[in-house]
Amino acid sequence: MLYSTYLIPLGVLLLLKSSTSAEHSRNHDKFYSSIESKPLSSQETDNLRLVLNFIRQSPEFHPLTFSVILPEFQSSFIEFLLSYIGQNSIEAYKVRARDLSLKATWISRLRLTWIFVVQDLSSFNIFVYWQWNLWKAGNQYLIIFTGKVVTTLWTEAFTNLWRKYDVHRIVVVDDDFRCLTRYMPLEKRSNNDFGRVYKSCLKKNHLTRRSSEYDLLQNPPKGNNSGYPDEILRLNRDTRLFENFQNLNHYPLNVLVFESLLMNVSYDTRNRLELSKPDANVAFALEKAMRATFRIKAMRKVDFMDDPFATSLTGIETRNVDMVITGFFVKVYSKFRKFQFTCAMYEDKLCFVSPDSGLVPKAYMPFLPFQKSLWFLLIAYNITVTFLWWLARHVSESLRRQYKCANPSRRLEINRSTRKPQARYLSKSGIKNYFLIKEHRSSDVSNYKEPPEIPRYIKRPIIFIEHLTYPFQTSEIPAQRALLLGTLFFALILNGLYQSVLVSSLSKPFHYPQLHNLEDVVDSGKIVITKYANLKNVFLDDSELDAMLVQRIRVINTQRSTKDIVAYEDKIAITRYYTLELGDSDYLDKEGNPLLNLVDECPMNYRVSYVSRLHSPYAEKVDFVLLRLREAGLLNFWFDDMLYRIKIAKIKKRRLNKDMAAMKSWMSGRIRLSLDHYLLTFLLLFVGLFGSTVMFFVELYIAKRSTRKC
User: Domains of the chain by range and CATH?
Assistant: 29-204+226-232 (3.40.50), 252-347 (no CATH), 369-401+455-509 (no CATH)
The CA-atom distances, in angstroms, between 192 and each of 188, 217, 226, 287, 598 are: 5, 21, 11, 20, 55
Most confident of 430-434, 444-448, 457-461, 686-690: 686-690
Nearest to 297 by CA among 322, 317, 276, 277: 322
Per-chain mean pLDDT for the chain = 76
Q: Say which residue, 702 or 440, is predicted with more confidence.
A: 702
Read off the pLDDT band of 704 (50, 70, 90). Answer: confident
Please tell me the distance from the alpha carbon of residue 576 to that of residue 291, in angstroms, as a whole number.
33
Read off the pLDDT band of 17 (50, 70, 90). Answer: very low
Nearest to 561 by CA among 536, 538, 539, 587: 587
Per residue in 292-313, pLDDT tens?
999 999 988 877 777 888 889 9
User: What's the confidence (pLDDT) of residue 453?
Assistant: 67
- State yes or no: cis peptide before 229, omega within 30 of 0: no
> Does residue 219 surpass a pLDDT of 80?
no
> Does residue 211 surpass a pLDDT of 50?
no
Q: Enumerate residues 6+ apart whose C-beta is below 8 A from 246.
A: 621
User: What's the confidence (pLDDT) of residue 529?
Assistant: 92
From 239-248, 326-335, 660-669, the region with the lowest mean pLDDT: 660-669
CB atoms near residue 276 (< 10 Å): 13
Most confident of 38-47, 329-338, 586-595, 628-637: 628-637
CB 476 within 8 A of CB 396: yes
Task: Summarize the confidence of residues 327-332 as an average pLDDT.
Answer: 90
DSSP 263: B
Please tell me the distance from the alpha carbon of residue 223 to that of residue 343, in angstroms, as a whole number.
43
Read off the pLDDT band of 626 (50, 70, 90). Answer: very high
> Does residue 487 surpass a pLDDT of 60?
yes
Task: Summarize the confidence of residues 536-557 as an average pLDDT.
Answer: 83
Nearest to 643 by CA among 277, 327, 274, 279: 277
Please tell me the distance from the alpha carbon of residue 151 to that of residue 137, in angstroms, as a whole number.
27
Please tell me the distance from the alpha carbon of residue 6 to that of residue 89, in angstroms, as a whole number.
9
Report which secondary-structure segment, H or E, holds 172. strand 170-174
Please tell me the distance from the alpha carbon of residue 399 to that of residue 405, in angstroms, as a whole number.
10
Beta bridge partners of 26: none
> Residue ranges of the alpha helices (H) in 539-596?
544-552, 562-569, 577-582
CB 662 within 8 A of CB 654: no
Report CA dihedral (93, 98, 100, 102) to the nearest 10 degrees.
-160
Please tell me the distance from the alpha carbon of residue 230 to that of residue 198, in angstroms, as a whole number.
8
CB atoms near residue 546 (< 10 Å): 16
Nearest to 264 by CA among 651, 653, 646, 652: 646
Please tell me the distance from the alpha carbon of residue 338 to that of residue 332, in angstroms, as a whole number.
12
Reported pTM: 0.70
Q: Say which residue, 165 or 442, is predicted with more confidence.
A: 165
User: What's the confidence (pLDDT) of residue 220?
Assistant: 40
From 355-369, 395-409, 564-578, the region with the lowest mean pLDDT: 395-409
Half-sphere exposure of 352 (CA within 13 A, CB side): 29
> Does residue 352 surpass a pLDDT of 90?
yes
Q: Say which residue, 74 or 290, is predicted with more confidence.
A: 290
Please tell me the distance from the alpha carbon of residue 550 to that of residue 585, in angstroms, as a whole number.
26
User: What's the confidence (pLDDT) of residue 114?
Assistant: 80
> Does residue 43 surpass a pLDDT of 80?
yes
> Percentage of the chain with pLDDT > 90?
17
Report which secondary-structure segment, H or E, holds 352. strand 346-355
Please tell me the distance from the alpha carbon of residue 111 to that of residue 109, in angstroms, as a whole number.
7
CB 599 within 8 A of CB 515: yes
The one-letter amino acid at 274: E
